[in-house]
Copies of this chain bind each other. A is one copy, B any other.
Amino acid sequence: MSVRIALHLKSVGYEYVEEDLLEFKSELLLKSNPVHKKVPVLIHGDKPLCESLIIVQYIDEVWTSAPSVLPSDPYDRAQARFWATYVNDKFFPAMRRLLVTSSTVTSSTEEAKKADTSEILEGVVLLEEAFKKLSKGKVFFGGDNLGYVDLAVGTLLALIKVVEKSTETEVLSEAKTPSLAAWADCFSSHAAVKDIFPDVDELDGIVMKLRAKSSKAAAATTTN
């Protein structure tokens, strides 16, 4: 999603090809991302690019006529990279573990779930603070325009709703994360986002399939 938003912001036309990561990975995907074998991949001309944050930076550096996704000041750029990396490396994995893995492992499931839930709830508080600093009183992490951190956090907004549904816990709230809650509304109704914002029920269905697959794999390992 972050790659598609970046392409939209830069007014770059593209062909969108979906991959069925659950059942069958295409030859094109395996050839284009042999290391991680996952989406997103951007194929620009005949050159494949992998990893969403790296692709977004590439798009930002290649199509320079539209406003920059990353801030122009090196320190601000480092801060944006810090928070996007935090979201990618800490916040998202905690959500994935909670939704997919920790529901399936046999030992210490409850403890793992509790730890992941805490990490997510602490994460949104950190992001609330980051928003106040980075947005400088404006609507987005990137200021008046969608920026690098908006894309990183925004991509996970639908998954946050799946977590809320699954755990019956409010992750984003007016009480604890007012700025982030307001930001979420602005983000999901932005022209570059609203048409591609994932359907939460559909995403919930995919998560359930992933959980079943992970559960099956864990059972197979135990049997072996």
Contacts and interface: CB of A to CB of B under 8 A. Distances in A.
Contact of A58 (B62, B74, B85): B74
A183 interface: no
B126 A54 contact: no
The range of chain A's interface size is 20 to 34
A86 B54 CA distance: 12
B107 A50 contact: no
Contacts of A51: 81-82, 85
Judged by DSSP, the binding face of A is helix
A78 B107 contact: no
Given A54-B82, A57-B81, A89-B89, A47 B35 contact: no
Nearest to A83: B35
Please state the number of chain copies in the assembly: 2
A47 B62 contact: no
A156 interface: no
A89 B54 CA distance: 14
Contact of A61 (B61, B74, B82, B126): B74
Interface string A47-88: 101110011011001100000000000110110011001100
A125 B48 CA distance: 20
A126 B51 CA distance: 17
7 contacts: A35-B126, A44-B75, A47-B75, A51-B82, A54-B78, A54-B81, A58-B77
